[in-house]
Amino acid sequence: MTLQPEPEHNPNPPAMVDPPAALRLAMRDGFEQLINPAIRALRRHEAEAARIAAGTPHRVEYFHQHDDPYSQLAEQVLATLEDRYAIELVRHEIRASGGKNQPEPAMLAAWAMRDAELIAPHYGLEPPSRLHSRPDTLPDPAALDAGSERLAALGHYSGAMFHYAGEWFWGVDRLFHLEQWLRDLGACKDPALPFICPRPAIDVAGVDASALTLDFYPSLNSPYTAIIYDRTIAMARECGIRLEHKPVLPMIMRGVPATREKGAYIMFDAKREAEYLGVDFGPVMTPIGGPTRMLYALLPWAAEQGKDIALMSVGLRLAWAEGVGLHERQGLRRAVEEAGLAWAEAEPRLGTEDWKELTALRQREMTEDLGLWGVPSYRLRGADGEPDLCVWGQDRLWLIASEIRRRAGQSNDRQGDASFLACTAAGQLHG
């Protein structure tokens, strides 16, 4: 039996998997409320005006999940955050939320530990494996109840979250966004000091990585893929690494549960990350469902002409930066032609199914071999004797770049090297 990339019975509502045209338009309007910079600036202005009128301090709430590796990293910077910024830091203890916002808890816990171990040295922090929680210091159940209720009331679901004036910042990865906002408000006690956790650079300058291979798992309906896709391709070309382009279906189409609150946070965060990366994001017209199937049906044919990457790049740009509807024939035709392909040759291929088994195999590889389920995901392979490095997220391309430099013999980051080798010895990386 041929493998299928979509489950026979998708637990997500049909309108979420294949939105009708009217719903796509409504979603576009909803996305605009989340990502429009003018709306965000107005909200921030109103929040600051209300704070000043009330005479209250800059109040930052932090939600700590004691068994969460990302919280264990974030906890290490709390004292520095309080010391450098004129804020009132309110700490809440929480439990894991679980449910649809955090599916596959065992896989999530294993991934979080592996990922936190890898990034900790790059931020000058102790890896979670070197930290020890004593049973007598575990949070009181009443405190856990109160903190979890506060987190839910504010509309979030995850640990290691900072909340300020209606916006969320995840752990050490997004702390620099919060720091920048506080600096803009004049709340930094000494602006000459560096950021506590600046994002490492994506740097492969002067590197020859031709002996290495990078497996890249993007998705057409992923906002995080949209903002890092072209940078990933540019990095691969800059260092000469062998790139294996392996598009997979969106998580919703694969049957991974989704919630409105998680989707809203992702959209808001993706816009913030896009601004940091200097790429366009919005207006957005979701390409989930039919548009994804049609474009993926063209990828094998485009790959024969060396145009699959170009087609994916154009499709992502049109959907996520220009608001073009790929569910409409003219939108899909525009993607094909801007990728340098002939629409007359493409149109008859829109109903073909040879892409399905290949996509299903890639998805099985990503989930079962790499232990990942989100996109974009990456696997760095080679050189001989090196274990694979598998990571998930647009905010891990810098880590891939750092490891490429190490494997190519051009890394000066001995802390990062030690972290990678330690994780390998502990069996926390998929080889």
The 3-class SS string of the chain reads: CCCCCCCCCCCCCHHHHCCCHHHHHHHHHHHHHHHCHHHHHHHHHHHHHHHHHHCCCEEEEEEECCCCHHHHHHHHHHHHHHHHECEEEEEEECCCCCHHHCCCHHHHHHHHHHHHHHHHHHHCCCCHHHCCCCHHHCCCHHHHHHHHHHHHHCCCCCCCEEEECCEEEEHHHHHHHHHHHHHHCCCECCCCCCCCCCCCCCCCCCCCCCCCEEEEECCCCCHHHHHHHHHHHHHHHHHCCEEEECCCCCCCCCCCCCCHHHHHHHHHHHHHHHHHHCCCCCCCCCCCCHHHHHHHHHHHHHHHCCCHHHHHHHHHHHHHHCCCCCCCHHHHHHHHHHCCCCHHHHHHHCCCCHHHHHHHHHHHHHHHHCCCCCCCEEEEECCCCCCCEEEECHHHHHHHHHHHHHHCCCCCCHHHHHHHHHHHHCCCCCC
Sign of CA dihedral 113, 114, 117, 118: negative
Percent of the chain surpassing pLDDT 70: 93
* pTM given for the model: 0.93
Q: In this structure, which amino acid lies at residue 122?
A: H
What are the tens digits of pLDDT across the range 12-64?
999 999 999 999 999 999 999 999 999 999 999 999 999 999 999 999 999 99
pLDDT at 132 over 90: no
The pLDDT assigned to 422 comes to 37
Percent of the chain surpassing pLDDT 90: 87
The pLDDT assigned to 98 comes to 73
pLDDT at 97 over 90: no
304 within 8 A of 345, measured Cβ to Cβ: no
Pair of tokens at residue 179: 């720091």
- Name the β-bridge partners of 217: 377
The pLDDT assigned to 258 comes to 85
Q: Find the mean pLDDT for residues 209-219.
A: 98
Burial class (CB in 10 A: 0-12, 13-18, 19+), 335: buried
The pLDDT assigned to 105 comes to 78
The whole-chain average pLDDT of the chain stands at 93
Instruction: Report the alpha-carbon distance of residue 369 to residue 80 in Å, rounded.
Output: 39
Band the pLDDT of 427: cuts 50, 70, 90: very low
pLDDT at 235 over 80: yes
Band the pLDDT of 139: cuts 50, 70, 90: confident
88-97, 374-383, 404-413, range with the lowest pLDDT: 404-413
Q: Give the closest residue to 203 by CA, choosing from 227, 244, 235, 232.
A: 235
Instruction: Report the alpha-carbon distance of residue 265 to residue 258 in Å, rounded.
Output: 12
Task: Specify the higher pLDDT residue, 174 or 384.
Answer: 174
Instruction: Report the alpha-carbon distance of residue 90 to residue 92 in Å, rounded.
Output: 7
Q: Give the closest residue to 274 by CA, choosing from 285, 264, 282, 284.
A: 282
Q: What domains are defined for the chain?
A: 41-184 (3.40.30.10), 213-323+352-425 (3.40.30.10)
Burial class (CB in 10 A: 0-12, 13-18, 19+), 21: exposed
The pLDDT assigned to 421 comes to 43
